[in-house]
Structure 1
Amino acid sequence: MRKLLLAWNLFIYGLLFSCTPKDASEIFDRVEKYMETCPDSALLLLNQISQPEKLQGKECADYALLLTQARDKNYLDSLQSDSLIKLAVDYYQDSDDKVRGGKALFYYGKVTALQGDYEKAMQAYLDAQERLEGAKEYKLQAWIQEYVGRINDDQERYDMALDNYQKSIFYNKKADNTLGIIYAYRNIAWIYAVRQNMDSVNRYVEAGFSLLNGDSTSSVFPSLMHIKGVAESSNGNYLNAVSYFLVAIRCEKVVDSIPYYYMSLGDAYMKLSLFDKAEECFKYILSSNDIFVLSGAYNYFYLLEKKKVEYGKSLYYKEMSDSLLQIAQNEAIRNKVLKVQKKNEIEKQQKEKDILQQDNLIQLLGGIVLLFFLFLLGLFFCKKMVKRNERDYRESLQEFAKRSREIISANEQLISQYICQVEELKQKEVSVVEASKEQIVKLEQEIRILMEKNRGNLENSYADGLNVLRQLKEGVLIVENMTAIERREFLGYVDFLFDNFVTRLCTEYRLKESNLLLAAFIKLGFSSEELVILFDSELEAVRKRKQRLKNKLGLDNKVNLDVFLAYYPRKMSC
């Protein structure tokens, strides 16, 4: 049997160290497989992760949960840290994974209970139960009820504890967990033992033994034997009680439980007047590091010496017991004070954090308001700049047209004067004509020169506009690609052709450049198909443009836009 066990252990360890996956998630999958059957192997696998502090997100939470669980199953309670399991609790708090979230809360409750913070532990257990509601994790729900019952038991809320243990039995039956049911029976038996209801004690103990089927290697077997011994001792059957206590001590594997068994055994020996054996039991307890256990041991020494009528020793042991009990109580008080101080410090840090967050929020809101104000200010100046540019453009267009008209008007006046002079000279007598022929020739030359200047001026003024119109007609240029200069030259040319057509539209109807361009194209006789090409759009879009222009001009639906623009501006009759 030992060779078979050794071979199995070598196989497990060889498997662990031969297969070392680099991916942490692969290790976690294997750890979960070994957790129930080989918790020591699960712990070894977790220790293979060389740099756990570099894990992030879900991997970090899974590592914290599995390491806490592995330490718990290997009875390494001294290594447990609430900050470690809190990583898993915080991660799964908002997660949809109810099972891992509930399990993290359960182990957080166990760790805080080990630290003596039963209030926090109770809250964690209740949160875990709520998180697992509707899930079919019956075994885990049974554990939660058991540990809630333990807290109620320690606080002497026995009825509530009994209810929790009954619920634990209910969930263990659903999970088909016989061992969990036996533990619940044992816990219920202890409560009835405290209440001195020995019939109920025996009933639940026997129910536990019947489920064990004589398996003395089970972890719950020693504690059942101990309770059975306590029941026998209460009924005065001390010899039977001694036999039960001895079996419990022999089968118990948890070292911390053995001193309590020796106390019960020593008490039974003392009641049988076997003082030497009782003293040996109490001496064994003195090796414990638990102050409460030592206080109990010295109290039994006090009772033993009192039965021996050794009052001096009895008084000494009584003082020792009371002194140790006082130390334990002071330690408990000190722990409570430290707990309160720690809680106040945490609350203080939380308040400071809240104040800092509030200040940051105020600064953020102030920044948002300032940015919004700057945005509105920029938008205001942009609109103002656009209006100013439009006004400057209209003024420059009007100034350009006015200057051209003034030049042409001046030249036309000179031409009229010269024509009048020519006519006057022609009407003179022939002799005068002959005399004035040379002067007439000069005047005609001057007329031709001025006309050439006018034509050149017109060509120079509107050559670029004419060129733009030619490109638009040929489809070489579209409106979207026209520069600001090309648009101005084109509109100036149309203004010249049609008696200030553009200037009057701009002044009378305050049209924008896009509408002025459309009106100019219609005035020049561009068809709808040509406008589609010019605006690089669909026919429907051109129709919508015409409708908007019609609305800007305030025309009735019955008025044809093309006809209106063809006759605009109308000449006023004298």
Structure 2
Amino acid sequence: MKKILLVWICFIYGLFFSCTQEIASDIFDRVERYMEICPDSALLLLNRIQHPEKLSGKQRADYALLLTQARDKNYLDSLQSDSLIKLAVDYYQDSDDKVRGGKALFYYGKVAVLHGDDEKAMQAYLDAQERLKGTKEYKLQAWIQEYIGRINDDQERYDMALDNYHKSIYYNKKADNTLGIVYAYRNIAWIYEVRQNSDSVNRYVEAGLSLLNGDSTSSIFPSLMQIKGVVESGKGNYLNAVSYFLAAIRCEKVVDSLPYYYMSLGDTYMKLGLFDKAEECFKNILSSKDILALSGAYNYFYLLEKEKMESGKSLYYKEISDSLLQIAQNETKRNKVLNVQKRNEIEKQQKEKDVLRQDSLIQLLGGIILLIFLFLLGLFFYIKMVKRIERNYRESLQKYTKQSRETIGANEQLISQYICQIEELKQKETLVLEASKEQIVRLEQEIQTLVEKNRLILENSYVDGLNVLRLLKEQLLIVENMTVIEKQQFLDYMDLLFDNFVTRLCTEYGLKESNLLLAAFIKLGFSSEELVILFDSELAAVRKRKQRLKGKLGLDNKVNLDVFLVCYPRKMSC
């Protein structure tokens, strides 16, 4: 009965598993049909697959490849994982399916670029190109050449990038992909713009526009307009440049590209002396999440304020621009360092695995040899023992009886000694227990004394800090005349009042003494006029101090410094 029940369970499980596999295969076929024309529908279909972790083999690899491709088509770069697409790469590495193998390597390269690892991306693209040789996947090969060209372009290997873009044109022509050709023309035009070859720039831009046949709704059209605007601005034809930049902004559908168009337009307005319009352009960039675009916008604000002879504001914008640029550079360096560390860690783990594998093999061989040796040695002694047993049985029995009696006598003596030792240890245990109790009482008295001392110290600190605060409130003491001890007493008092307010600021933001004092005064509700008296300075100087403190705390212009410090550190209660 149990066997029949087990057979039925296995049958039902196999039937369910085969149905799941068939459903997944049907979804994958539909996803591949929708991927190019309707990528959002393709992503929704993939999300309908329940328990994708139960997929195995080819279906698991297909799922990883299609999900990575769908996320890429829907601009969900933040969801991309190299571990996901690596499943497809590993599966198709030894497969005869060159198309899926090449496609997996291509998307593995794209994910590597998102993670800032250009070296890994370049290797993946080259492997993909090699895998696709002899196939008719011309559009995919065109993409690969374009992305290799982008990496070479970013690293200023312009001749190599031009070669890649021309190869992309070749494959796009074979695939009859007009839009891909236009993208390649656009990329080539940018390289010639860097080289200040305006004739070549215009030639490739016009070639791209002619292929579009005046279609301003195309995704490539705004960037072509921007290039024409940059060329016209370089020639001094600023009004023509403005018209091209406006056309680019009007036709662009990708929000992330707009900040750079506004930056070019604002720069041109500045050259025309239209500073108000330029300022409006740069304000449109401030909502962007692109750190480089924000840095450029604040740099232009710095130039605008410099033109208006507003030195204070110009320096403030310059500091923000430099800070954002530094953040972007540090982020780039950090990503490179993390990638290097990641590669080193992988290599280290691989070496450790090899060493462990070798050690395991050596241990296995050593164990086998040792077992053989022990077996032979045991066999030898066994044979020898059997021969001696028959001859020496009676002698051994007599010796054994004699030794047993001697052993029993020795053991009885030892038992007597052990009983004596146990009695001695019990007496010592009683003495040690009494001494331990006395020591515990003495230590408890010491603890009580130290607690009382700490309480007195805290009370004295509380009184001293309160006295300093009273002098400051009654304007009988200013910051410049405060001694080091008075400052410390005041700051300690603030910690007691507001849950380590000063210590947390110092730890989290690295504030110095002057900024800690200013933050404490604001926390206590000192007005700007009172701060003028406390710091023995002018109102403008106090405002500047507050602005610098705000920068140290990393607050943007929309955050009120006084409200932030009043709520800090109890943010949840505000």
CA distance in 1, matches of 2:369, 2:233: 80
Counterpart position of 1:460 = none
**Contact 2:109 2:120 (C-alpha < 8 Å) held by counterparts:** yes
Distance, in Å, in 2 between the alignment partners of 1:313 and 1:365 is 77
Decide whether the 8 Å contact of 1:138 with 1:175 is kept in 2: yes
Secondary structure, counterpart of 2:44 in structure 1: helix
Aligned partners of 1:256, 1:282: CA distance in 2, in Å? 15
Per the alignment, residue 207 of structure 2 pairs with 207
CA contact (8 A) 1:21 1:27 kept: no
What is the 5 A alignment of 1:408-423?
A: none
- Shift in Å, 1:62: 0.3
**2:142–2:168 CA contact under 8 A, matched in 1:** yes
C-alpha distance in structure 2 between counterparts of 1:258 and 1:248, whole Å: 8
Provide the residue aligned with 1:244 in structure 2: 244
Cα distance in 2 for residues equivalent to 1:364 and 1:36: 55
- Counterpart contact for 2:262–2:281, Cα < 8 Å: yes
The separation in 2 between residues aligned to 1:153 and 1:34, in whole angstroms, is 32
Per the TM alignment, residue 359 of structure 1 is displaced from its structure 2 partner at its CA by 2.6
Question: Within 1, Cα distance between the matches of 2:370 and 2:55?
Answer: 41
1:333 shift after superposition: 2.2
Structure 1 residue aligned with 2:296: 296
2:70 aligned with 1:70: yes
**Structure 2 CA distance for aligned equivalents of residues 85 and 210 of structure 1:** 38
Whole-angstrom distance in 1 between the partners of 2:349 and 2:182: 45
* Residue of structure 2 equivalent to 1:153: 153
Alpha-carbon distance between aligned partners in 1 of 2:369 and 2:175, rounded to the nearest angstrom: 59
What amino acid maps onto 1:87 in structure 2? L
* Counterparts of 2:129 and 2:312, CA distance in 1: 55
Contact 1:242 1:268 in 2 (8 A): yes
Corresponding position of 2:144: 144
Whole-angstrom CA distance in 2 between matches of 1:56 and 1:294: 46
Give the direction of change, closer, same or farther, for the CA distance of 1:369–1:35 in structure 2 (3 Å limit).
Answer: farther
1:177 aligns with 2:177: yes
Compute the displacement of 1:369 (Å).
7.1
Q: CA–CA distance in 1 between the matches of 2:364 and 2:174?
A: 54
Aligned AA for 1:280? Answer: E
Counterparts of residues 257-406 of structure 1 (less than 5 Å) = 257-363=257-363
Matching residue of 2:126: 126
Letter in 2 for 1:275: F
1:362-408 deviations in Å (ceiling 9; x for gaps): 3555577789x79x99xxx9xxxxxxxxxxxxxxxxxxxxxxxxxxx
Taking a change above 3 Å as real, the CA distance of residues 346 and 214 of structure 1, as seen in their structure-2 partners, is: same
Check if 1:223 corresponds to 2:223. yes
Q: Which residue of 1 is the match for residue 54 of structure 2?
A: 54
* Higher radius of gyration, 1 or 2: 1
Shift in CA distance, 344/214, structure 1 to aligned 2, threshold 3 Å: same
- CA offsets 1:215-265 (integer angstroms, 9 cap, x no match): 111111111111111111111111111111111111111111010000001
What stretches of structure 2 of length at least 5 have no aligned partner? 1-19, 381-574
Per the TM alignment, residue 21 of structure 1 is displaced from its structure 2 partner at its CA by 9.0
- Write the letter of the residue equivalent to 2:72: D
Distance in 2, matches of 1:267 and 1:195, equals 20
Taking the aligned partners of 1:147 and 1:261, their CA distance within structure 2 comes to 23
Consecutive unaligned residues of structure 1, counting only runs of 5 or more, are 1-19, 382-574
Quick one: which amino acid aligns to residue 51 of structure 1? H
Partner residue, 1:28: 28
Whether the 8 Å CA contact 1:189–1:201 is kept in 2: the answer is yes
Shift of residue 155, structure 1, vs aligned partner = 0.6
Aligned residues: 362
- Amino acid of the residue matched to residue 310 of structure 1? E
Whether the 8 Å contact between 1:295 and 1:324 is mirrored in structure 2 is: yes
Partner of 2:167: 167
CA apart distance, 1:360:
3.2
Cα displacement string for residues 149-185 of structure 1 (whole angstroms, at most 9, x for unaligned residues): 0001111111111110000001101111100000000
CA contact (8 A) 2:106 2:124 kept: yes
Say which SS state the counterpart of residue 329 (structure 1) adopts: helix
Partners of 1:196 and 1:304 in 2: how far apart? Answer: 27
Offset of 1:45 from its aligned partner?
Answer: 0.7
Matched, 1:110 2:100: no
Which whole-Å deviations, capped at 9, do the CAs of 1:267-300 have from their partners, x for residues lacking one?
1111111110100010111111221111111111
1:46-98 Cα offsets, whole Å, 9 max, x none, are 01101100110100000000000000001111110000000000111111111
Alpha-carbon distance between aligned partners in 2 of 1:313 and 1:197, rounded to the nearest angstrom: 38
Task: State whether residues 35 and 42 of structure 2, in contact with CA within 8 Å, keep that contact through their aligned partners in structure 1.
Answer: yes
The two structures, once aligned, show a CA RMSD in angstroms of 2.6
The 3 A distance-change label for structure 1 pair 270 and 98 is same
User: Secondary structure of 1:289's match?
Assistant: coil
Q: Is the 8 A contact 2:115 2:335 kept in 1?
A: no
In structure 1, give the amino acid aligned to 2:196: Q
What TM-score do the two structures reach when normalised by structure 1? Answer: 0.60
Shift of 1:339: 2.5
- Residues in 1 aligned to 2:77 and 2:285: alpha-carbon distance in whole angstroms: 22
Greater displacement, 208-217 / 357-366: 357-366
TM-score, normalised via structure 2 length? 0.60
Letter in 2 for 1:330: N
Give 2:485's aligned residue. none
Displacement, 1:28? 0.7
Could you tell me how far apart the structure 1 residues matched to 2:101 and 2:368 are?
38
2:101 matched residue in structure 1: 101
Per-residue CA shift, 1:502-561, capped at 9, x if unaligned? xxxxxxxxxxxxxxxxxxxxxxxxxxxxxxxxxxxxxxxxxxxxxxxxxxxxxxxxxxxx
Q: Is the CA contact (8 Å cut-off) linking 1:64 and 1:88 kept in structure 2? A: yes
